[in-house]
Chains A and B, each alone.
Chain A
Amino acid sequence: MKRFVAIALALVMVFAMAACSGGNTQQPASNTPANNTPATNDTPATNTPATNTPATNDQPATSALAGTYNIVVWTGEAAVELTKKQIADFNASNTDGITFNAEVNPVSEATAADQMLVDINAGADLYCFAQDQFARLVQGGALNKLGVKAAETVAAANDAGVVGAATVGEDLYAYPLTSDNGYFMYYDKSVIPDADVDSLEKLIADCEAAGKYFAFETNTSAWYLAGWFFGTGCVSEWTTDSDGEFVSVNDTFNSDKGLIAAKGIKKLVDSAMNLSSSSAAEFANGAAIVVTGTWAYNDIQAVLGDNMGVTDLPSFEVDGQSYHIGSFNGCKLMGVKPQGDDTTKQAALHKLAQYLTDEERQTERFNELAWGPANLNAQKSDAVQANPGLAALFAQNAYSVPQGQIHGAWWDIAKVIADDVKAATDEAGLKQALQNYSDKIAALFTMTAEEKQAWSAIGAIVGTSWDTDIPMNKVADGEFETAALELHAGEEFKVRQGASWDVNYGKDGVAGGDNCVVEADGTYKIHFVESTGMITLIAQ
C-alpha cells in the first residue's frame, strides 16, 4: 500500500521535466515575438552579462543598436585568430556604438552545416561555410537573409559568381567570404617532368613508372568528379523557386559528351596508382600528384618544399581529341543565424558580417591565410594576382563552372558515377552508369500523374526566360488556357506537358516545332487545344 511513495518519487522527475517545459516555453504563437527557443528566451550562460546593455557614458548612444552583444562565431581552424582580431578591430571602429564579446570556435567550413542543422538554436550566431551547403542551410532556415540595402551594397562589391551562389530567388542569404573554392593540380617536380603536366595520359604513365600515387578524389566526392563532365561541355544547372525549393534541372551528363568524360575517368580510375583523396598529406605517403585547392597550399609546400609544382588540371584524349578537365569554381560564405525576437542583436550581427567581408578584411584574409578574395577590388590587387596557388586557380577558371545552387541529394547521387565507371567493362557499361545517374536525377522531380498531364506555357514572356512554366487551366474538354498575360511583340513561347520537353508544341500546332511569336503588344490568354496542338492568343 505504500506504492504511492514510489509513484511520488517517480513523478518528481517527470514533473521536473514537464515543469521545465512549462517554464521556458510560455511563448508560443500569440504572446511574444519569439522563436520559442531557449537560446532566445532564456539568456544562456554565454550571453549572461547582458544581451543588450545601454551604452556607457563615454560612448554616446548614437544608434538603437548601441550596446554589448555576446556572440558565438564559427570559422575554420586556420582563421580563428584572424577572426578574433578582426572582431576586435570592429569594436575599435565603434560602428553605431556596437561592441561584440565574441567566442570564436573552430568549426570547419565543410561541416558547419551538419553541425548547424542538428540544432539551429545552439549553433553559432555568425558562421562560415562552404558553398555546397548553402541550399541545405536556406532550406533548414539557418540563414537570415540580408536586408534590402545591405544586399545591394554586397552584391555590387563582390564577384557576380559568388553573389549568385548566395542568392535564392531575388534574395541574398549570405555574405561572400572568399572566391577560391576550386581545385587544381599540385605535383612533385622530382617525379613529374614539367613538360608532362598538360596530359593526363602522360601523368598516369609517369606515376605508374615511378610507383607514385595520382590522388584525385573522383570516387568519394561529386565535387571533384563533376569537373570531368564540365570539361567535355556537360552541364548540371538547377533552378529553385524563391523558397529555395528545387523545381527543375538541366543536366546533360548522360549524353555523348558525358560518355567522353566517363571514358576519361575510366583511364584514371583503372590505373593502379589512382588514389581517391584530396589530402595534402598524400605527398608524404607516396603521391606525386594531388588535385586539391588553395587551402592545402601551405601544407603541401611544407612537405615538398622547392619540388612543389602548381598548375591547372591536365587534358585527356578520347578518339584523338583532347579535353581539358574542368572544375567547380566555388566560394566560402558567411551567414547570420536568425535571432528570433532579439532584432537588435540580429541587426548588429549583420553590421559585423558586412564588416568582416568588406574589401579590407578580405584583403587581410588573403595576406594572412592566402584565401582568395571575392571582393572585386581585392581581386585586382597585384599581390593576389601574383600568388602561385591563385594563379593556378585563375588558369583553371578558364575551364571551370560557377557552382550555383545544387540539390543536396545530387552530391550523393553523382559521386557513385566513378565507382560505376570503374566497374564497367565496356562502353555499354559506361553508358549504363550514366543512365543510372540520370534516372536518379530525373526522379528527384517525380511528379504526380496529374502534374505529368498538366499543360503549361513557357518562353521569354512576362519577365521569364524559358525557365518558368506558366500554368494552364482546363477550360473545356481537351482545351487549356493561361491567365491573362501582358505580352509584347516579338516575344517567343511554346506549350509543353508535364514541365518537360518530351511533349511540346510550337507554331501552327507542330509537335516540337518552331517557337510561337507574339505579333503585337497586348493582354492575351494563351489558348491550347490538345487534339490539334493548335496554340492561339485570345486578346482580352
Chain B
Amino acid sequence: MKRLTDLEYLMLPKWNKFWYKFLMFFVDIPANLWNGIKGIGGSIASFFKAIGREFADIGKTFAEGDWKTKTSFLVMGFGNIARGQILRGVLFLIFEIVFVWYMITPFGGAYWVQMLGSLGLQGPEKGYDEILDQYISIPHDNSFRILLYGVLTIFFIVAFIYTWRVNVKQNKIAEEILKSGKKLKSGKDDLRSLVDDQFHKTLLALPLTGILVFTVMPIIFMILVAFTNYDGAHNGYTNALFTWVGLDNFKTMFSWDVGGVNYAATFGEVLTWTLIWAFFATFSNYFLGIFVAMMINKKGIRVKKLWRTILVLTIAIPQFISLLYVSKMFTLNGLINGALLNFGLIDKAIDFWGDPMLARIMVIVINIWIGIPYLMLIATGILMNIPADLYESAKIDGASGWKQFSKITLPYMLFITGPYLLTSFTSNMNNFNVIYLLTGGGPTNPAASGASGSVGFTDLLITWLFKITTGSDTKYYLASVVGILVFIVVAFISLVVYNLLPSVKNEEDFQ
C-alpha cells in the first residue's frame, strides 16, 4: 500500500478515501504501537521524575519549614489548626486517625494487605463432634474477602498517601502566604468556594466516589480474578482457597486442547458471531429505522403520532416481559407455528430456535422489533434539521427521490450519527437481554461441548461469560478472561472506527 500525498488523497473518489484510511490504519499499527510504547516509556520516565521532584519538595519543605510544618509531617492538619485554618486541619486529623485506627485494628487493613500475596493460608477442614454426632468446620481464611478487602485497603492507602502529600504541600503554601504578609483563607471562604470557583469539585465528589467504589473497584477485582483459580471448586471459603496462578487462564483460553476442549476455536467462533450479530443488529436497525421515520414524516401521512406511539411500545415495556413472550411465541408448538399450520402455509412446524442458522436470523429479526423505535426517534429529530433548501435545489436539478436520499439524507445522517453508530455497535456486542431472553444462547454448539458454560450458536461473548459464572463448574477465572478479552475487542474496534469517523468533532463547536 503506497502512502499518498495529501493532494492525491483528496482527489480519490469517496469510497477509495474510506478504504485508504481503513487500510492505512492497519499499515500504521506498528508505527503507532512503537510510538505508543515510546510514549508509555516516556510517561513512565516522567512519572518517576515527578515522584523524584515530589520527594525533593517534601524534603525541602521539611528542612525549611517551621515547627508547625514539621509537626504536620506526623500529625496531619496540625499546621492548619495552628495557623487558624481549623476546618481543614480537623478534617486532615480525623482522616489520619481513622486511617491509623483502620490499619492497626486486629484483622484490619494490615491483615488484608499482608494476606494478599497468598490469598489465605488455612483452608476449611472438618472435625467430628462426638457429643452432638455432627461434623463441624474449623476456622479458616477466606480468599474472596482477602482479595476484595485487600484491594480496598490498597485504595485506602493510596488515598492516604495522597492526602498526606496535600497536607504537606498546604503547610508550605500557607507559610509562603503568611511570609508575604497576606491572609489565609478561613473555613468560611473554603465553604463558599465550594459552591463557586471550586463548584465542580462539589458536583463531582459524589458521582466519582460512586464510580470509584462500584465500578472501578469491581473491574480491578475482575481483572485480578483472571490471574487466580477462583471457581466453584475453589470458592475461597467453603471448600478450598483460591490462589494466584499467573497467566495459566489466558493460556487455557488460547489453547487448542484443554481437557479435549478447543477453547481457542470456541472463543473464535463466539467472537465471530458476536461481530456478525453486532454488525447486522446495528445496521438493520439503522437503515430500517431511518426508513420508518421517513415514512412517518412524509407529507400527507395521517395520525403520525399514533404510528410513533405504537412503535415506541417496545421501548416502554420491560424486555423481560416482551422478549420472553416473543421467545415462547416462536417455539415449535407456539402461536406462530400454530397459526402458520392452521392457514396451511407450512405443513411442518418450523424449529425456529432449534436450527442454528434460523435461530441466528431470528434473533437479528426480533432485535429489529426492539431496536427500530429508537432509531425512528433519533432519525425523526435529525431529518427535521436537514436544511430544506438542500432538497429545494436538488429538486430544481431534477434529482429523483432515491437520489435525494442517497446524496443528501443519508450522508447527513451518517455524518451526525457516526459516533452513535459506533456506540450502538459496541453496545450490541454486549446486548445481553435480547440473546439471553430469546434463546438463552441456544441451540447448543456440539463442537464446543465440554467448554465451560455450554456454548450455543447464538451465544455472544457476554452471554457466554454469564453462562460460565452460572454453569455447572462456575469457572469465574475463565469468565474474567472472557471479560478482559471483550474489553480488548471493544477497545480495538472503537479505536479503529473512531479513527475513520468523518465527524470526529470538536466538542466546543456546539457551544
Contact = CB atoms under 8 A, between A and B. Distances in A.
Q: Do chains A and B touch in the complex (CB under 8 A)?
A: yes
A8 B95 contact: yes
B155 A14 contact: yes
B21 interface: no
- Contact count band on A: 35 or more
B510 interface: no
Given A29-B122, A136-B232, A145 B260 contact: no
Nearest to B87: A5
Max chain A Cβ within 10 angstroms of own Cβ: one of B193, B205, B338:
B205
B201 interface: yes
A153 to B, nearest CB: 10
Contacts of B333: 213, 275, 282, 285-287
Interface stretch (A15-23, A70-78, A325-333, A371-379): A15-23
Contact of A9 (B145, B162, B205, B445): B205
Given A340-B137, A440-B261, A26 B106 contact: yes
Contact of B232 (A18, A140, A149, A439): A140
A35 B237 contact: yes
Contacts of A120: 235, 237-238
A6 B201 contact: yes
B396 interface: no
Contacts of A440: 260-261, 449-450
B135 A19 contact: no
Contacts of A31: 139
B134 A350 contact: yes
B261 A147 contact: no
A86 interface: no
B27 interface: no
Nearest to A149: B133
B460 to A, nearest CB: 19
A34 B238 CA distance: 11
B261 A443 contact: yes
B156 A14 contact: yes
Given A14-B155, A36-B140, A413-B449, A139 B88 contact: no
Interface string B193-207: 110001001101110
Contact of B238 (A142, A272, A433, A439): A142
A13 B449 CA distance: 44
A413 B450 contact: yes
B260 A439 contact: yes
Contacts of B269: none
Interface string A414-447: 0110011001000000000100110110111010
Interface in A18-43: 18-19, 21-22, 25-37
B449 A416 contact: yes
A343 B129 contact: yes
Given A2-B198, A28-B111, A419-B443, A13 B134 contact: no
Interface in A55-87: 64-65
Contact of B444 (A10, A12, A139, A415): A415
Contact of A17 (B213, B238, B259, B473): B213
Given A5-B201, A272-B348, A28 B107 contact: yes
Contacts of B258: 446
Nearest to B257: A443
A383 interface: no
Nearest to A415: B444
Given A37-B237, A338-B238, A343-B129, A412 B139 contact: no
A279 to B, nearest CB: 10
A409 B473 contact: yes
Contacts of A148: 128, 133
A141 B139 contact: no
A27 B349 contact: no
Max chain B Cβ within 10 angstroms of own Cβ: one of A4, A34, A436:
A4
A124 to B, nearest CB: 15
A27 B142 CA distance: 10
B102 A18 contact: yes
B386 interface: no
A536 interface: no
A21 B149 contact: yes
Interface in B169-219: 170, 173, 190, 193-194, 198, 201-202, 204-206, 208-210, 212-213
B454 interface: yes
B161 to A, nearest CB: 11
Contacts of B202: 6
A480 B473 CA distance: 37
A476 interface: no
Nearest to B210: A13
A466 to B, nearest CB: 25
A347 B450 contact: no
Interface in B129-156: 129, 131-142, 145, 148-149, 152-153, 155-156
Contact of A409 (B98, B152, B237, B472): B472
A9 B209 contact: yes
Interface string A277-290: 00000100111000
Contacts of B474: 117
A411 B449 CA distance: 10
Contacts of B95: 8, 11
Max chain A Cβ within 10 angstroms of own Cβ: one of B332, B443, B471, B473:
B332
B81 to A, nearest CB: 14
Interface in B450-486: 450, 454, 470-474
A18 B157 CA distance: 11
Nearest to B149: A21
B441 interface: no
B239 interface: yes
Contacts of B121: 29
Contacts of A521: none
A30 B194 contact: no
A150 interface: yes
Contact of B166 (A3, A276, A287, A340): A3
Contacts of B166: 3-4, 7
A219 interface: yes
Given A3-B201, A22-B108, A444-B260, A412 B454 contact: yes
Contacts of A12: 209
Contacts of B198: 2
B261 A27 contact: no
A51 interface: no
Contact of A114 (B91, B206, B209, B470): B470
A287 B332 CA distance: 11
A18 B205 contact: no
A474 to B, nearest CB: 27
B133 A28 contact: no
B227 interface: no
Contacts of A520: none
A144 interface: yes
A132 to B, nearest CB: 10
Given A15-B98, A147-B129, 19 more contacts: A4-B91, A4-B163, A6-B204, A10-B159, A14-B212, A18-B156, A21-B145, A26-B107, A36-B141, A117-B235, A120-B238, A136-B232, A213-B333, A272-B349, A275-B333, A408-B473, A413-B449, A415-B454, A443-B450
9 contacts: A4-B92, A5-B91, A5-B201, A9-B209, A13-B210, A14-B155, A22-B107, A415-B449, A437-B449
Interface of B: 88, 91-92, 95, 98, 102, 105-109, 111-112, 121-122, 124, 126, 128-129, 131-142, 145, 148-149, 152-153, 155-156, 159, 162-163, 166-167, 170, 173, 190, 193-194, 198, 201-202, 204-206, 208-210, 212-213, 232-233, 235, 237-239, 257-261, 332-334, 338, 348-349, 354, 442-446, 449-450, 454, 470-474
